[in-house]
């Protein structure tokens, strides 16, 4: 009897040992669960001042090298101009639903608001010669990025257009302090204070034509984007006549964005030409 009990105990121990061995082999065969990948960043942090300011943009990413080494950079100081017979430009902007974003560049936990931008998706609006450009967004800089004979304006609005071939054309509009400008009231009444938040405002329309000066004479030159990656090949059309906003209206923008202007860049032999934009009949 004792002998039989001893045999049973030995058998139980052997079975347990075999199961433990099998479990150990299975665990070795299954790779450990991978750790979650680190959150990807939107790109290098950049700013308008300090260590990530305009003087260093070209070193922050290989894709941003034009910011430091480009020869056709924007903005510029507009001083000497040449009157030229340029390809005719025509502009007509249908009223569009208001979509505002307080744009932000987020990287390494830094949320740095750069401008107030209005996104636009309603129709072809600008023709240069035979090439059509669609308005995709317009945004604001305080003070102006371009200067005229070394002088800044209070603000500058940039209307960014893109062609079917992904070529860019930007219309710049200077803004001075003066009379109240009712055309901007829908934008000012709905400015988003939260950086990175986009607001689609129902039943509010903005007529971009009313944001432009009455005189459509312009400065034209070949330049670049004024923020990283500072891509060149951008057609610049800067209105010679400023529009006005009241001190209160400018202050409303300044409360959210200020000092978001890249310093002027060397002209490097480029010619600034002047001509007029024709309005569509």
Report which of 120, 119, 211, 200 is spatially closest to residue 157, judged by C-alpha positions. 211
Q: Which residues of 123-136 are buried (b: 16+ CB within 10 A; e: fewer)?
A: eebbbbeeeebbbe
* Cα–Cα dist 126/161, whole Å: 8
Selecting among 21, 41, 105, 114, the annotated active-site residue is 114
* Cα–Cα dist 238/118, whole Å: 19
The SS3 call for residue 278 is: strand
Q: For residues 253 and 139, is the Cβ–Cβ distance under 8 A?
A: no
In the annotation, is 139 catalytic?
no
The SS3 call for residue 58 is: helix
Burial class (CB in 10 A: 0-12, 13-18, 19+), 192: middle
Burial class (CB in 10 A: 0-12, 13-18, 19+), 12: exposed
Q: Which residues are catalytic?
A: 114
């Amino acid at each position: 009897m004792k002998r039989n009990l001893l045999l049973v105990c030995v058998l139980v121990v052997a079975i347990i040992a075999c199961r433990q061995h099998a479990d150990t082999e299975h665990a070795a065969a299954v790779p450990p669960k991978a750790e979650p990948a680190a959150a990807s960043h939107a790109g290098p942090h950049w700013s308008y001042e300090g260590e990530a300011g305009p003087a260093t943009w070209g070193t922050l990413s290989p894709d941003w090298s034009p910011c430091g080494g480009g020869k056709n950079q924007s903005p510029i100081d507009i001083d000497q101009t040449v009157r030229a017979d340029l390809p005719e430009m025509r502009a007509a902007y249908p009223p569009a639903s208001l979509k505002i974003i307080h744009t932000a560049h987020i990287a390494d936990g830094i949320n740095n608001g750069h401008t107030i931008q209005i996104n636009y998706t309603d129709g072809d609006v600008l023709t240069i010669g035979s090439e059509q450009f669609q308005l995709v967004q317009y945004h604001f800089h305080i003070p102006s990025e371009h200067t005229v004979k070394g002088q800044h304006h209070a603000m500058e609005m940039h209307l960014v257009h893109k062609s079917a071939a992904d070529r860019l054309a930007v219309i710049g509009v200077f803004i001075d302090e003066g009379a109240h400008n009712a055309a901007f009231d829908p934008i000012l009444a709905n400015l988003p204070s939260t950086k990175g938040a986009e607001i689609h405002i129902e039943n509010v329309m903005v007529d971009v034509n009313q944001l432009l000066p009455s005189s459509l004479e312009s400065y034209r030159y070949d330049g670049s984007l004024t923020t990283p990656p500072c891509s060149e090949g951008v057609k610049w059309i800067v209105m010679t006549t400023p529009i006005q906003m009241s001190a209160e209206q400018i202050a409303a923008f300044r409360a959210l964005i200020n000092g978001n202007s890249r310093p002027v860049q060397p002209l490097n032999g480029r010619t600034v030409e002047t001509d007029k934009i024709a309005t569509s009949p």
